[in-house]
Every structure is written in structure tokens, then in C-alpha cells.
Amino acid sequence: MANRLDYTYRRLVNALGPGRVARGAFETFVYGHDFAAIPKAAEFQFKVAPDFVVLPRTTEEVVRLVGMQAENLLPLVPRGGGTGLYGGSVPNRGGVLVDFRKMNRVLKVDAATRTMVVEAGCTWQDAYDRALAAGLFLPVYPQFALGSTIGGWINSGGVGFGANKYGTARDLLLNLEVVLADGRTVLTGADRVDLGTSHLNLGPLVWGSEGTLGLVTKATLRLYPKPEEIRPLAYAFPSLDDAVPALRALAALPVAPYHVMLIDASHLQFLKAVRYEAPEPTAMLLVVFEGPKDEVGEGEKLADAAMKANGGGKVAAETAKRLWENRLYQYPTRRIANGLVICEGVVPLGKLKDALAKTRSLQRAMKMEVALTGQLVDANTVALYPYFLDDETSPLPPMRLGFVIKWRELLMDQGSPIGEMLGRSEVERPLQGHPMGVGLFLAFNVPAMHGNAHRFFPAIKDAFDPNGRINFGKMHQIRTRFGFPGLRRIPLMIAALPFKVLGAVKAIIPKQDRFVRKYTGEGRAR
């Protein structure tokens, strides 16, 4: 094995040069996790550190790397900025991790067609800035836009800023350049002709595939005219439950808000622990309008009236401006602990109150500090992001991760009601929600997330990657570091069991989490 790895290293260095190939323990360790807190126990099941890290600069070099995989038989794992939440860009069996951050150029901004062509390793923030400099607007981008790359978020899917007015990143996709497992390069659409989401465009198939179908190297994105003004407004409520009627009113406004963010008091309490200037903890709605000044002004009048009619109090303009300016720095509380875990899911707007109640019931049952934010996805859908602190350096089993499993099940109305933990059931009405993200651990959710459609996922993977060369062992199965029969994969039916058991133990232990209170001096004023 050592000789094969040494030979592979020499081949990679010959292809890319010594400065863009790494195999040292420190370099590979850094790539053994993403934004998610990967528990130490995971290293017994998965080889999360890659054997090699490579940084290609061109599509031709990516094609060369794919061709070399047939020789070394090491899996290829694509990675962008490492801002994923569930380990989608983390290896499960080592291999060659392809870091795309050297492919970070904005190749073209075309004002005539309102499009831009960018390489996969360009961050969304850089693409946004280049579009603005050309008098255009990239309206949709992720909450980790400073580090999240174009290819990374396209592969991850999800919703981001601007979704309420402009849709998801999938709605911006005109064309993708993708290197397939056999070394061929394919264009999924066209740069100038909008093929939409019809059968003529393969882009939506790649979107959200978590890097399992091919290596995205370039993207052509749709742009919009630069807005004359972007105006954030903030409104305070006693609780998010009290803000739900106001949220319905916002969804029905004739002037659609560009972005609507839900902020729970617990989130501001988390922020207050590390930022003195953060607003006092209370539930808030951050409402943002963009466009011509007269349209923005009309939107503000309509929002003011709707919020006042539903019990909301308008917050100072400076506070709203600060919240919007800090929108890409939502999780500074991570510095309190050695890890932070974010859950993602969507629920119908009509089920939001039930979703909030179930989330808080689960939090109390597991004696955890859980903060919550969210956003209006469209007139009928809300995305929720509960998150909590954890210590990924601890050798102890990750009991708090049981919250992730249980919360996702609550969204999908799976399993027993929450009363199995509490001894009673506070809310029993189904949520009809949907969790987001699969990554390294959560493939056991896929059958419930996608119903009968999940049966076709292995066939789609085999059509694109019959030999399992690219990010293999994810999405529809969980492959481990072992090559022995019986150990090489974890049956989906039992994959969640350890997390559920640990979550139940966490609920039994009388100790309440105190990450934030400990940091602020047990809650005393500083």
C-alpha cells in the first residue's frame, strides 16, 4: 500500500507540481472536516483524512486527475470552501481530495446578456462583488458566501439570501461544465439560451447531488440589474410564535420582500455572549426590500402597516442595518466551544407554529441550548436553522447529535411523537416538512426524504459513475473505511440507531448545557 501511495504521489506531483499536492499529516488533517462538528468517534468508522490533497487550476488538470484515478483506484472527493454542514466534502475512505479553490476566477461578466461565467472555486462573495462592479446583481447567495464556493453550493443545494424574491441558486443556473468519471467534459445547458429546468438542461440534476455525479469546474449564472437601493427593516415581537401572523402578512404583500429572516431571542442571546453591540434578546423579523427607491419606499410602508397590525414594533434603523451587514457572520458563538452544529429544514408556513413548538420541546427534553434562525423561502414555505454548540474534540460519544436525528424525524413526521422522550406529547399534528442535506452520515434519511424516487438514485449514480470513482458511498448508502464484507457499508436501517440511543441518554442525564451561560459569567451582566 505504501509503495502504491508513493507512486501516486509522484504521479500527482508530475501532473500539478509539488506546490499543489499535499500528503502531510497536518495538511490532510485540516481537510478531515467541514463546518460541521465531526465527532472523534467517526474516525473509527470513516477515514476522514484524505491520502492526498490536490489543487488544480484548470479543467484540463481536473480531467487529468480523473484519468489517473483509474491507475491508483483512490476515490476522488471534490471540495469547495469546506462550509458544508454534514460532511459532504469529507472523505469516508481517504483518497484524493480535490480542492477547487485555485480555480477561483470570474471568467466573464456579460452586461448584454446579463450573465457571468465563473470557475467552481470562486466564492459567492467574489462573484457578487464582480457583478456589482459591472452594474449587475447576483441576487441569491448562501449564508456562508465569504467562503462558500460556486461549485460547492451548487452541489449542496439549499436556499440562501434572496430566495423569497428570486428563488434558489438552481434558478440562476444557465450552464455547468462538469467533468464526468470517465474523463469526459459535459456542458449541462447553454450560456446564451435559457434552457430552464426542462429536459434540455442537466443542471438541476447536478444541483444538490453533493458532488457524487461529477466534478463541477465552471458555471454560467443569470444576473439581474443592480438595484437602486437595498433597505433592511427590523421588527420586534415577544416570541417567534407571535411573529407567525406577521410572517403570513409579509408573504401576501403586493411588493415582495427581497429577504425575510426569522431571528429567535435565543439567537440574539448567543450573539450577546460574544458581541456587546448585539441587540437585546427578543424575537425579530428582518425584512429587506430592494429595487427602485419608490418601490422600496412603498414596500416599507406596507411592511410597517402589516407588522403594526400583527403586534410588531419597528426597531431602530441602525439596528436593522447592523443585522443586515452582519448577515454573513451569523455564528460567532462557535468560538465558545470547539464545534457548532446547524440543522436545516423547510416546513409549510401554515405549520410553522407547530414546528417551533416541537423544536423547543425537543430542546427542553434534551436539556440543550439551541438557538434558531430561519427565512421565508416563498409565500408558502419557511426554512428553519436550529443550531447548538458542541465539542468535536471530545473523545466522548456525541450525545448532542441525537438532536439532529430527532429534529429531522420530527420534520418528516417519522417515528414516535416527541412524547416518547417527555412522557407526553405536546404537539401531535404532522409538520409535512423536509430536512435538507445528507453528507457523510445522513443517507438513512433519504428514503423518507424522497419517497419512492430514492430507488432511482443508485441507477443515476451508476449511469454517471459506474465504477464509483467520485465521492462514492454517500447519498444512497453509507460506506465505511473498511474493505471487508459485512463491514464496508452500514445498513441504512440501523445507521441512525447509535445517535438515537445517545440522544436518549442525553435526555436522561440531568445536566443542562451551559456553554453560553458559562461564557458570560453564569448569565450575569458584564
Residues 77-106: tens digit of each pLDDT = 999 999 988 888 999 999 999 999 999 999
From the first residue on, what is the mean pLDDT of each consecutive set of 10 residues in the chain (526 residues)?
A: 84 94 91 79 85 96 93 92 90 94 96 95 97 97 95 92 94 94 92 63 90 96 96 97 96 96 94 87 97 97 97 96 93 81 94 94 90 95 92 69 89 60 50 88 85 89 93 85 78 75 74 62 40
Give which of 426, 505, 385, 469 is closest to 78, Cα–Cα: 469
Q: What angle do CA 482, 487, 489 make, to 5 degrees?
A: 90
Sheet of 76-79, strand order: 21-22, 52-54, 96-99, 76-79
Distance from C-alpha of 291 to C-alpha of 279, rounded to nearest angstrom: 27
Grid coordinates 465521492 are at which residue?
471
Query: What is the gyration radius of the CA atoms in the chain, in angstroms?
Result: 23
Amino acid at 519: Y
- Return the pLDDT at 494: 76
Q: What architecture (CATH level 2) is domain 2-100?
A: 2-Layer Sandwich (3.30)
- Return the pLDDT at 397: 58
Give the count of beta carbons closer than 10 Å to the beta carbon of residue 192.
Answer: 11
Using DSSP bridges, classify how beta strands 229-237 and 313-314 pair: parallel, antiparallel or unpaired.
Answer: antiparallel
Domain limits of the chain?
2-100
DSSP assignment of 157-174: ----BTHHHH--GGGGEE
Give which of 255, 258, 250 is closest to 306, Cα–Cα: 250
**Helical axes 352-366 vs 240-251, angle rounded to 10°:** 150
pLDDT, one tens digit per residue, over 346-403 is: 999 999 999 999 999 999 998 888 999 999 999 999 999 999 988 776 656 577 888 8
